[in-house]
Chains A and B, each alone.
Chain A
Amino acid sequence: MSQPLKCSLCEEAATVHLSQVVHSKVTKVHLCEACAQKGGATDPAVFQLADALTSAVMAAPAITCPKCGFTDIDFRKRGRLGCPSCWEVFGDVLGGLLTKVQHEPEHVGRAPAGILPSGQLRRRLEAARREMEQAVTSEDFEVAARLRDEISALEQQLTPS
């Protein structure tokens, strides 16, 4: 007799079976009733998440967060992390998952007041330098001058005071 399927998110027996077909690729997710209800089995994000969780975490070795004691097994069961530090500890596992459930794996939004969103500033600085080179090549000196001012302002902001 075959083994009953286990829930992709916890160890319970799966009773909800989902299949998704995207460009003729079939993905299957099995959930227990509790996880299906909790996650909303009709929600495509949950679908992607369940799929990413099983494939990403199954392959990873056991990791424990030194700050809160959370392990990759806990993550597989809960689909939630233990504390803010877990994001660094589980970086490799989460990286793959984020590319599946999110738009891009890097933040481009707001930062708390007082914290310099330096990642974004640095990215903008690199882009502005490239744009200035192009402007100089095409002898568009008005644009080049504007970019030069922006670059020096960005450099100033990125210098630790």
Chain B
Amino acid sequence: MSVQDILDAESELTHLLGAQQAVVLSTRIRLARNLDGLPFPGWAKVPQRKEIAERCVDALTELPKFRRGHVLRMTELQDRERAVLVERHLVSKELASGKSGAAVISRDQTCSVMINEEDHLRIQVVKAGWHLRGTWHIAEQLDDDLGGRLKMAFSERLGYLTACPTNVGTGLRASAMVHLPGLCLAGHMDKVSRALNQDGLAVRGWLGEGTEAAGNIFQISNQQTLGLSEDAILKHLGGWIKNVVEQEWNARRKLAKDEGERFSDRLARSFGLLRHARLLTSAESMNMLSHLRLACDMGCLPEGHRHIVDRLMIEGQPAHVQVRAGEELDSDGRDCRRATLVREALRDFPEVTAPTA
């Protein structure tokens, strides 16, 4: 199993037709866990990290969820293959740049477990669209299955023990990847971001910590992991996401009403550009694709075309284009391949019309 197989496979986020929703692109649950009695990866010696990796990989590959899945050791991959995994959110930048990290990924790419990142185990589950409870139940089941095979570091008073004090307790980070072009265009995003921050939620860019919000896409997640039950954390995030989705729809409807023809003109221009450009940078395509997704949500383009836009957002990223090409490309080469990928995918799209939503 290789990174090429991951690219070629029909995954949850790229090919699951009908799962895509307006505004919320995906729901993600992450659990931080550590083996009892062994130093955390950042402090462990090389032989200890090897032992940790072996024990974790053995336990994970026994689970039904990872049957016919992928076991990837970071040192055995090329730079651009690791970059593909980061772009797909299957592993973090930190894991990809380390020397003893590994990832075990389920066949449908909904579950991925990072080994020897900041903690021994980072269990991640992702679903397309907004499915907080369903995603949580899969993670909970994985955690139970894994807990039956490995003794986890746990304290009665502090819960699951982690390397960083910001993850101790539940070790739970729940998040939603949201597309907020309405709030961005209306200039309300700073305000929304501040309100979320003040109520214990973090707002980050498309690729997580410290990244720019390309394509008006933001990741919203809980900050606190200790002193709140998993249920309380999920309820708190769930309530806010519902609120943000409502605000986003209000902003979109107001824009469509106030701007009239200008609203669809903006979306149609982006469509025209994507449909005909011969060179497309990553940032430009993300921002134009954001308009296209908005067009699908608003009824300016058929809603059934939304999954194509989502797939292009993932497959148009630099390392994806590079690995697909199978040869070393310079920046123009990548922009050319990206433009071709987008042009071909949009060939059968109809004209952008006035909004109906």
Contact = CB atoms under 8 A, between A and B. Distances in A.
The answer to whether A binds B is yes
Main secondary structure of the interface of A (DSSP, over half): loop
Interface string B23-63: 00000000000101111101100000000000000000000
B159 A107 contact: yes
A106 B228 contact: no
Contacts of B155: 84, 87-88, 107
A44 B157 contact: no
Contacts of A84: 34, 36-38, 40, 153, 155, 161
A105 to B, nearest CB: 7
Contacts of B210: 37-43
Interface string A5-27: 00000000000000000000000
Give the one of A40, A45, A107, A111 with max B CB within 10 A.
Answer: A107
A83 B43 contact: yes
A160 interface: no
Nearest to A78: B42
Interface in A78-125: 78-84, 87-88, 94, 97-98, 101-115, 117-119
Main secondary structure of the interface of B (DSSP, over half): loop
A109 B229 contact: yes
Given A109-B170, A109-B230, A44 B42 contact: no
A107 B197 contact: no
Contacts of B43: 68, 70, 74, 80-83
Contacts, number: 134
Given A84-B153, A119-B156, A109 B169 contact: yes
B224 A83 contact: no
Contacts of A97: 165
B253 interface: no
Contact of A104 (B151, B152, B228): B228
B147 interface: yes
Given A45-B166, A87-B158, 20 more contacts: A37-B210, A82-B39, A82-B43, A84-B34, A84-B38, A84-B153, A84-B161, A98-B165, A102-B168, A102-B225, A102-B226, A103-B224, A104-B227, A104-B228, A105-B227, A106-B157, A107-B226, A109-B229, A111-B154, A111-B156
Interface of A: 37-45, 49, 68, 70, 74, 78-84, 87-88, 94, 97-98, 101-115, 117-119
22 contacts: A38-B210, A39-B209, A40-B204, A43-B204, A45-B223, A80-B164, A83-B38, A84-B34, A84-B37, A84-B40, A84-B153, A98-B226, A102-B165, A107-B170, A107-B227, A110-B230, A112-B154, A114-B148, A115-B154, A117-B156, A118-B156, A119-B157
